[in-house]
A and B are shown apart, each in its own frame.
Chain A
Amino acid sequence: MAERVFITGIGMISAIGNNVEENFRSLRAQQSGLGFTRYIDTIHKNILPVGEVKLSTDELGALAGKPGSPEFTRTTLLGLLAIQEALQSAGIADPREMPAAFINASTVGGMCDTEKVYFDILDPQQEGTFLQYIDTLDCADCTQRIADETGLREYVTTISTACSSSANALMYGARLIQQGLVQRAVCGGTEALTRFTINGFNSLKNTDKQFCRPFDQQRNGLNLGEGAAYLVLESESLVNSRKARVMAELTGWCNTNEAFHPTAPSPEGDGAFEAMRKALAMSGKTTADVQYVNVHGTATLNNDASEGKALERLFGAKVPKFSSTKPFTGHTLAAAGAIEAIYSVLAINRQMIFPNLNFSEKMEELGITPETKLLEEYPVRNVISNSFGFGGNNASLVFSRYEG
């Protein structure tokens, strides 16, 4: 029998707050973090809304205890702030106390900063301190700097499966624990807004000039966001021996591939359906046990149609409350899975369901609509969190209330 995997710490930063409590307050106040960028130099800056963290990179550096450190990119600093909170919330004073894994997720690494100096790097005439940070270009740089700052080093790696990256990081960490390779894994992802990504999604014509409207008939694309989130996963035996506080249990997970199209989901949501179905089966729960689904809900035409169909196929006439929290944070790509994992844990711990903002008109191809109101004192025991990405990568996670 594989060990149970518990969540003992959470930490995050997003457009709606610099820590978990600030995020929770914004969710409860139904206050979106979407707006125009203050920090990205792009022609789209007053056209495409984004979910930007409300601190400059210098301010992030100061907050993370790394002032004046240009080698710490925005991606790294967001991650560092989130992991510091996660470790603290788990009551871990010294992460070096035992062999632990750090499984990070990123889609473009330090592109946020390297894209500013990329053409200087290519120019032999240009010299300067930026040369020392050339390696921040890849996805491993942020992971290693965070690992070095925290002392997590038994397993250190980075996953990149587009928008499902950090859901896969959580899954991987949980499996390392179940296989007995570590007792503790800190998992999640970090993503900073970049001109590269904004132009990438804009070239695909799936960014909305208005605030995104998940599961709405008039939805017209996503808004990008940035942020970072990490969850501390621990084995049951470690939790028992150190008497750790358990926030929730990660009871099920599944990663599937749609094998349908490089950037679009299948119309019937085959991949989403399978990911949710198998994750739920692994958790030992039935569809009737699920009170809330934190959907991927990017508000692109394809995603919401396909994910909605998958929900109807899995739950039939009894689709539980569901909402996309992307109108709060924007789509934070590699960080999304972990940010929404924490929202799922909050839904369980605070007995609350967060609203799907900006919804007004039911999609004609679906019989279901998302929850648009904040529901308090709602008995949430099991939550499914979905993350679906390019390349057909689908991931679903099941979080359950800790029952001892």
Chain B
Amino acid sequence: MWLFLVRRLVNYLVLIVVATTCAYLLAASALSPRVNYENQSPRPSEEAVDARLDELNLNDKTPLAERWVVWAGDVVTGDFGKTVTGGSVNEEMEIRILVSLRLIIAGTVLGATAGVGVGAYAAVKQYGVFDQLSTGAAFTVLAVPAVVVAISLQVLAIWLNGVAGETLLVFNGEATPSLDAGFFGTLWDRAKHMFLPTVALALGQFAVFSRYQRNMMLDVLGSDFVRTARAKGLTRRAALLKHALRTALIPTVTYFTFTFGVMMAGTTFTEKVYNWKGMGSWLIDSIATNDVHAVAAVSCFMAVCVMAAAFLSDLLYAWLDPRVRVG
């Protein structure tokens, strides 16, 4: 068992390393930090630029392999290098990871829980009003790209604020800058800022999970063990809750891994649109500013997240399903 876990973790680690390396090599060869200096005025001398780029290990005149060795050597010690402006990638990352994780966790938990609940209930009431409504809602959300969801919610918020005559919903940044409202005031302020981006993320998750859970639930509704439960004397409702839903949750958990990648992409757009300084918006910004090391760091973070989700869903699966537990 332990040996097996270790083997699996090593496999994950290899995938993460390869993915990060690929991202680095791609970014280092396709992005050109030199361009950033060409647009400065006064334009610095080539020597000065070279010196600066050498210092940052970003000089395209150094062979790619050589740059990679230096970068990889740093990464092994836990240092992701310097940003294109000379700051520490690690420091920037520490702040941004927390911002992103807050959004991801809140969005996933909210969206998945609501999706599973609604999907299961819709399956029980197949072809009923609730089923039709929730199916319609899920389909509509699925048809709208995450960017458009985010923007539409913003537009809605502007309109709502206009109608209410005060700022009910905030859609810019993580907190009001230099706000002095005590502990609870700050907390309330943050919650208000968090509301819209979380909903934007959760909506997508809700749609995906409600569809999936509905299908899974329909699969077990007619199964023999539900019939056995009813033959025992359980009412339909009790049999569905206790036997069908519990069993139908198992495949949903494995599905979690698949949706996580989509979720990460969604975070990127949401952060960008709501102007949150997280990992996702950093990715967009760093591509635009040719920030090779930041791109590699974000890739690494995303790979770790996807692997963590895969691992987590494996653990959950084993916990929910006695058939896969190794005794």
Check if A and B associate.
no
